[in-house]
Amino acid sequence: MPATPAIGASIGSYKVVRQLGNGLMGPVLLATHNNAYWAVRVIDEAIVRSTASLSRLVGDVLHPALVRYKEVGADPASGGFVSTDFIDAKPIARDALSGLRAAAKLELLLQTLEGLAVLHQRGAVHGCLKPSNVLLRRKGSEVQAIIIDAGFAYVPSAINAERLLRYAYPWMAPELVDAYQSGQRGAVDKALTPSVDIYAAGLLVAHVLSGRLLHTQVRSLDELRQRVRSGSLRLTGINDPHQHLDLRQLDAAIRQAADPDPAQRPSSLRAFIEALRGALPKPAAAPSAA
C-alpha cells in the first residue's frame, strides 16, 4: 500500500489537510486546491496505468448519485492519485436509513442505481460496488446516496490477499473474484462487465433493505464460494404496516441479479431497476365517478 503523505505535503497541485481513512488501494486524504476541498486517494501507479475506465469519468458530474472525478494523475513523490469531490457523508447502512419507510428506502436505492446505469452508458464499470462505496448525505429532510470509487481495478499483488477477502470479495461476482485470483490482468479486464455490477447491486439492495451482511466474515475463499453457491436471500422484516412492498417481486429480482451464473442475471442494469420498481406499492385507484 502506498505511504501516507504528511500533513501539508503536496500531491500534484493539492495540499494535504488531513487523512480521511484507508482504503484497499491506499490512503484517502482531505486536500485543498484552488480554495476548495477535495478527496484525494493515493494509489499504486500500476492501478492508474491499468484502469482505463477512470479516464472516462473525469469531468462534469455525470449523475447526482455519482461523485465527480476531477483528476487522475501521478506525483513524483507520492505516486498515482485520483481526486474527487469531497463528500462529507457516511456509508449507507440500514441503521442510517432507519427513519425511512421501506418504499422510501427502495426509491433511494433506485435513484442510486440510476447513477450506476449512467456509468454503464459511459462505457465504464464500477467493479466493486459495496456499502462502503455508497455514501449517504442528508440535506434537511432529503436523503441522497452517492457512489464513490467507481472505475478502479485492483492490482492483487499490491493488496494484501486477506484484505481483499475481507473487504472486497464478499461483494464481488464470482467470475470477478476468480479473475483476480488468477493474477492475470487480461482475465480481470474480461470479467469487468456490467454484469458484475448487477450482481453487486443485488447484494447491496438486499443488505440495505434487510440489514443482512450476506457473504461477509468468511475465513477462506473456499468458504466464500460455498456461501455464494448455497446462499439464500430471504427478505423479511422490511415492510411497514401501511406501506407494503411486493416481497415476492423484490425477492425474485434480487435473486436473479445475485445469481452466481452471469448468464442467469438480468440482461442490463436497467432491466434490474425496472424489476425492482415493480415491487413498489401501486398507486391507489382513483375513486369511480358516482
Inter-residue contact 31 to 82 (CB < 8 Å): no
SS3 assignment, position 33: strand
Q: What is the pLDDT of residue 281?
A: 86
Q: For 28, list phi and psi in degrees, rounded to 5.
A: -110, 130
Contact status, residue 91 vs residue 134, Cβ threshold 8 Å: yes
**Half-sphere exposure at residue 262, Cβ-oriented, CA atoms within 13 angstroms:** 18
User: In this prediction, what percent of the chain has a pLDDT beyond 90?
Assistant: 38
Per-residue pLDDT at 279: 93
Query: What would the pLDDT profile of 160-192 be if each residue is shown by its tens digit?
Result: 667 777 778 889 999 999 988 887 878 888 998
Say what the pLDDT of residue 55 is: 63
**Which residue, 239, 257, 212, 213, is CA-closest to 106?**
239
Of residues 182 and 51, which shows the higher confidence score? 182
Contact by Cβ (8 Å): 198, 253: no
Residue 48 · residue 33 · CB < 8 Å: no
pLDDT at 51 over 60: no
What's the predicted TM-score (pTM) here? 0.88
CA quadruple 60, 63, 67, 69: dihedral positive or negative? negative
Mean pLDDT of 32-44: 91
Write down the pLDDT at residue 263: 96
Q: What CA–CA distance (Å, rounded) separates 181 from 187? A: 10
DSSP state of 156: G
Instruction: Domains for the chain: give ranges and CATH numbers.
Output: 14-85 (3.30.200.20), 90-277 (1.10.510.10)
Q: How many CB atoms lie within 10 A of CB 94?
A: 16
pLDDT band at 227, cuts 50/70/90? confident
Give the span between the Cα atoms of 50 and 72, in whole angstroms.
Answer: 12
Residues 117 and 269: beta-carbon distance below 8 Å: yes
Compute the distance between CA of residue 67 and CA of residue 43 in angstroms, rounded to an integer: 18
Q: Which grid cell sits at 12? A: 500534484
Nearest to 196 by CA among 95, 265, 123, 121: 265
Q: Provide the 8-state DSSP code for 9.
A: -
User: In the prediction, which pLDDT does 7 show?
Assistant: 92
Q: What is the mean pLDDT of residues 35-40?
A: 94
Distance from C-alpha of 14 to C-alpha of 10, rounded to nearest angstrom: 6
Dist CA 129 CA 148 (whole Å): 9
- pLDDT at site 289: 58
Helix axes 269-277, 247-257, angle to 10 degrees: 170
